[in-house]
Amino acid sequence: MKVGLIGLPECGKTTLFNALTRANESIHAYGSHKDEVHLGSVPVPDPRFDFCVEVSHPKKIAPATLDITDGGARIDLEEKREKFGADFFAGVRNMDALALILRAFQSEFLPEPGGGLDPRRDAEKIMGELLLADLMVIEGRLERLEKNRILKRQTPAEAAEEQTLLKIKTHLDSLQPIRTLSLTDDDTKAIKSFAFVSAKPLILVANIDEESISQDSPMLSSLRSFAEDQNLPLVEICAKLEMEVSQMDQEEEKEFLSAMGIEEPARDRLIRIAYAALGYISFFTVGEDEVKAWTIRQGTHAVGAAEKIHTDIARTFIRAEVISFDDFHACGGWDESRSAGKMRLEGKDYIVKDGDIVHIRNSKG
């Protein structure tokens, strides 16, 4: 699962990247280096996973992870002007979700953007650019499809694609992202290769001042109501502080957070929200060797879950032994749940639920 950080210049993308991945990429106070892309992987915090580990004492653990990319779509400050377009987002086309970072912090080092700090305005601007980038791609493609139609060289697949693209174009023309358009499975298949950016799940991230953490401000209220109207998750985070916290060792971090009265670092919340926004769920396999979280789409059948583990296991599938997380938690482990009669035997068509503890019985072992 890949999440791309996007945003206007100097909104704090690299600072946030460091906070999320505990990396230490250099922050350029004035202008950034061209073509610098940072990649990192972060475990998704999940208390259910932690519980599975706690009761199973495995040799190895494998939590769900998110891959984070910083710099996939970044404006080059040396050109001193904002330049967008279809190519601008090329570096984040293969992402599964986008996190839009919005500057909401004052700084004595960084001049305020023209028109002053206004994260809502910036959100609207970049979201508009995402729509435009998709429109440009669609218009280019429609032109070719139309040409083939006029020349009577259009295949039935192309005719269907043209219909789908026209439907999407109408939606974009009314300033709605593709994300909010309901598409048939065929539509989705026809447009998959375009990797439209406004179709991706989007998370808004307000990069706020340390002082704003527990305070309200008109600019944040405006952004909150915008996020609500747009039905988008919004996370407020002080990237600079989070980066400092992320560089501490675990003990130090715990002490610091409890002194601040913070239960969970904001970066953990952001990672969880990003993971949830992707629309995926987790199931767990627990054993002495390994406890592992597996990421699947909602609605995946047991045999699909088996396939995720290994194609061989799916091929030789007999039954899935399943314990719901609540039962697993209440009983305190696999054997305990089983003795309490909480283990169910499910067939291939069972739809795996979020948090299920699963063991696939197959004819090989």
Q: Report the alpha-carbon distance of residue 98 to residue 203 in Å, rounded.
A: 6
Q: Give the nearest distance from C-beta 69 to Mg ion in angstroms.
A: 12
3-state helix, strand, coil in the chain (%, to 5): 45, 20, 35
Sort residue 71 into left (φ over 0), alpha (ψ -120 to 50) or beta: left
From the list Mg ion, ligand GTP, none, which binds 107 (C-beta under 5 to 8 Å, kind-based)?
Answer: ligand GTP
Contact with ligand GTP (CB under 6 A): which of 1, 9, 43, 45?
A: 9
Q: Give the nearest distance from C-beta 266 to ligand GTP in angstroms.
A: 11
In one-letter notation, the amino acid at residue 364 is: K
Q: Which is nearer to ligand GTP, 111 or 156 (CB)?
A: 111
Contact with ligand GTP (CB under 6 A): which of 4, 15, 19, 282?
A: 15
Considering only residues 236-265, where is the footprint of ligand GTP by CB under 6 A? 238-240
Q: Which is nearer to ligand GTP, 137 or 241 (CB)?
A: 241
DSSP 168-222: HHHHHHTT--GGGS---HHHHHHHGGG--GGGS-EEEEEEE-GGGTT---HHHHH
Q: Report the alpha-carbon distance of residue 246 to residue 264 in Å, rounded.
A: 12
Residue 21 contacts Mg ion per CB under 5 A:
no
Report how far apart, in Å, the C-alpha atoms of 7 and of each of 244, 252, 344 are. 21, 31, 47
From the list Mg ion, ligand GTP, none, which binds 29 (C-beta under 5 to 8 Å, kind-based)?
Answer: ligand GTP
Q: Is the distance from CB of 306 to CB of 362 less than 8 angstroms? A: yes
Residue 189 contacts ligand GTP per CB under 6 A:
no
Considering only residues 30-69, where is the footprint of ligand GTP by CB under 6 A? 32
Q: Which is nearer to ligand GTP, 74 or 120 (CB)?
A: 74
Contact with ligand GTP (CB under 6 A): which of 64, 74, 100, 206?
A: 74
Considering only residues 204-223, where is the footprint of ligand GTP by CB under 6 A? 207
Q: Give the nearest distance from C-beta 267 to ligand GTP in angstroms.
A: 12
Q: Taking each helix axis from N to C terminus, what angle separates 119-150 and 218-230, rounded to the nearest 10 degrees?
A: 30
Q: Give the nearest distance from C-beta 250 to ligand GTP in angstroms.
A: 22
Q: Report the alpha-carbon distance of residue 8 to residue 32 in Å, rounded.
A: 12
Q: Taking each helix axis from N to C terminus, what angle separates 13-21 and 266-277, rounded to the nearest 10 degrees?
A: 90
| 320 CB-contact burial (10 Å; exposed 0-12 / middle 13-18 / buried 19+) | buried
Contact with Mg ion (CB under 5 A): which of 5, 6, 8, 14?
A: 14
Residues 28-57 vs Mg ion: string with x where CB under 5 A?
----x-------------------------
Considering only residues 96-125, where is the footprint of ligand GTP by CB under 6 A? 105, 107, 109-110
Sort residue 237 into left (φ over 0), alpha (ψ -120 to 50) or beta: beta
Q: Report the alpha-carbon distance of residue 231 to residue 225 in Å, rounded.
A: 10
Q: Give the nearest distance from C-beta 115 to ligand GTP in angstroms.
A: 18
Q: Give the nearest distance from C-beta 34 to Mg ion in angstroms.
A: 11
Q: Which of 17, 243, 227, 28 is nearest to 122 (CA)?
A: 227
Applying CB under 6 A, which residues contact ligand GTP?
A: 7, 9-15, 27-29, 32, 74, 77, 105, 107, 109-110, 207, 238-240
